[in-house]
């Protein structure tokens, strides 16, 4: 619509590998992630494996100036590890914990204790309602003998269902996270096929980073090289997926990944590479349709006016040797004027209706924010 700012959203997604007491150089890397995010000034940050609430609190304090809105999703025994930082207000949040998530007796893996989940935050950016999902699915551990494949498939299905049933009021859907699945795996095909989500790597107009967009690469000093022996270039298991709903359009202008060491340091952010996407072109198709329809309506009204003028000119005796009687032109002129008056009335009514709807929508969002900020009574 005219006067509406063009959408350009920069997104940062990373599995931070921040397991307290177990992850190598965790505190140093968390500080490095915070410093980088503060300098780069992304619009939206989606993090996984931030298992310590202390790490989240430190990131929140450090990033308060750049990302004043944030949310940490709590789940399971040690948490979901999911958190979101945003430049834009978070209007609502929701967490869904997957029904299957490993086995409690597999202590060496520990996924069951994490409470793997999908978190949802709802935001309004440039007048567009975004449903932003962040998730972390069950790890694979061994591709040849993947005992957790059924659990991961169930999680992919529940994720797809959760997105479908919670995104009906959204204009744009965005999913970021460590899905622990290769692009050709059945779980990814199920998720994308059922939700219609697009892969930012596949759709990006420009790409810079690891070959094939891999996010688990042998060049990373924290990566378990034995897991990547069948994949000398690495694997891609971290994603940014998106889609536009209704009459909106969104495209991925650029996608980047880190390539091992973080800029200016001798260590990476994590054992995973970060994925950074730039989404743009949030113009409403509906706005273009209204503009096109408006032009057609103006042309139609001009034709009616010309027709009415011709008929009136005939009645006034300005036309020469007309083949039709003056009564016919008189009726045609009144019909044209009637259509013109009706079209003008409908246009004014529609204009007032749209303004009222927009005004009511703004008031409802304002009330929603007020209810969220109001301390609970009792």
> Residues 6 or more apart from 351 whose CB is under 8 A from it?
none
Q: Is 219 a domain residue?
A: yes
Residues 274 and 355 in one domain: no
pLDDT band at 367 (very low <50, low <70, confident <90, very high): low
Q: Is residue 3 part of a domain?
A: no
pTM, two decimals, is: 0.75
How many domains, the chain? 2
pLDDT digits (tens, 9 = 90+) for 291-315: 445 566 666 667 767 766 666 666 5
Instruction: Report d(CA 226, CA 232) in Å as an integer.
Output: 10
Provide the domain limits for residue 259.
8-283
Is residue 165 located within the same domain as residue 40? yes
> Does residue 199 have a pLDDT over 60?
yes
**Closest by Cα among 77, 53, 169, 154 to 120:** 169
Predicted confidence (pLDDT) per residue in 133-180, tens digit: 999 999 888 887 888 888 899 999 999 999 999 999 999 999 999 999
Asked if the model's pLDDT at residue 353 lies above 90, the reply is no
So what's the pLDDT on residue 337?
A: 77
| Rounded Cα–Cα distance for residues 270 and 80 (Å) | 18
Same domain, 127 and 264: yes
Strand runs (DSSP E) across the chain, as ranges? Answer: 8-18, 44-50, 69-73, 82-86, 90-97, 117-125, 128-136, 172-178, 198-199, 206-208, 238-244, 251-257, 275-280
* CA proximity to 172, closest of 131, 141, 124: 131
- pLDDT at residue 210 above 90? yes
CATH number of the domain residue 102 falls in:
3.60.10.10
What single-letter DSSP state applies at residue 197?
Answer: P
Mean pLDDT of the chain: 84
Boundary of a domain, candidates 258, 283, 308: 283
Distance separating alpha carbons of residues 367 and 377, to the nearest angstrom:
17
Does the annotation count 71 as an active-site position? no
CA distance 123 to 243: 15
- Separation between Cα atoms, residue 190 and residue 220, nearest integer Å: 30
In this prediction, residue 378 has a pLDDT band, given cuts at 50, 70 and 90, of very low
378 assigned to some structural domain: no
Where is the domain boundary, 283, 311, 343?
283
Answer yes or no: do 278 and 299 share one domain.
no
Distance of alpha carbon 125 from alpha carbon 43, whole angstroms:
10
Please, which pLDDT band fits residue 256 given cuts at 50, 70 and 90?
very high
299 lies in a domain? yes
The per-residue pLDDT for 341 is 79
Q: What is the DSSP letter of 216?
A: B
Query: Considering 136, 138, 151, 272, which one is annotated as catalytic?
Result: 272
Q: Does residue 108 sit in the same domain as residue 233?
A: yes
Same domain, 31 and 14: yes
Same domain for 243 and 309?
Answer: no
């Amino acid at each position: 619509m005219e006067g509406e700012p063009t959408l350009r959203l920069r997104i940062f997604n990373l599995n931070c590998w921040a397991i307290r007491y177990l992850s190598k150089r965790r505190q140093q890397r968390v500080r490095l992630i915070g410093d980088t995010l503060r300098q780069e000034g992304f619009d939206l940050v989606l993090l996984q494996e931030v298992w310590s609430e202390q790490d989240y609190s430190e990131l929140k304090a450090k990033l308060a100036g750049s990302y004043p809105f944030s949310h940490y999703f709590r789940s399971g025994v040690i948490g979901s590890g999911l958190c979101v930082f945003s430049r834009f207000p978070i209007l609502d949040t929701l967490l869904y914990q997957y029904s299957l998530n490993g086995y409690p007796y597999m202590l060496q893996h520990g996924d069951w204790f994490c409470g793997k989940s999908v978190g949802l935050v709802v935001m309004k950016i440039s007048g567009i309602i975004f449903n932003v999902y962040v998730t972390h699915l069950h790890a694979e551990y061994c591709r040849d003998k993947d005992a957790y494949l059924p659990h991961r498939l169930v999680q992919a299905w529940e994720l797809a269902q959760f997105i479908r049933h919670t995104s009906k009021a959204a204009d744009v859907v965005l999913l970021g996270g460590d899905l622990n699945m290769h692009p050709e795996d059945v779980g990814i095909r199920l998720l994308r096929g059922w939700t219609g989500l697009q892969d930012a790597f596949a759709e990006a107009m420009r790409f810079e980073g690891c070959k094939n967009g891999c996010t688990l690469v042998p060049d990373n000093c924290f990566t378990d090289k034995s897991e990547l022996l069948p994949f000398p270039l690495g694997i891609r298991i971290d994603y940014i997926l998106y889609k536009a709903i209704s009459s909106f359009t969104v495209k991925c202008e650029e996608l980047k990944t880190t390539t091992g060491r973080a800029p200016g340091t001798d260590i990476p952010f994590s054992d995973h590479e970060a994925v950074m996407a730039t989404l743009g072109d949030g113009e409403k198709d509906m706005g273009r349709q209204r503009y096109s329809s408006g032009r057609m309506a103006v042309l139609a009204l001009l034709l009616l006016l010309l027709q009415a003028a011709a008929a009136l000119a005939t009645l006034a005796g300005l036309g020469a040797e007309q083949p039709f009687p003056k009564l016919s032109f008189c009726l045609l002129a009144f019909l044209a004027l009637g259509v013109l008056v009706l079209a003008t009335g409908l246009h004014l009514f529609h204009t007032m209706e749209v303004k009222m709807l927009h005004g009511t929508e703004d008031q409802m969002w304002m009330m929603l924010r007020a209810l969220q900020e109001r301390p609970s009574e009792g």
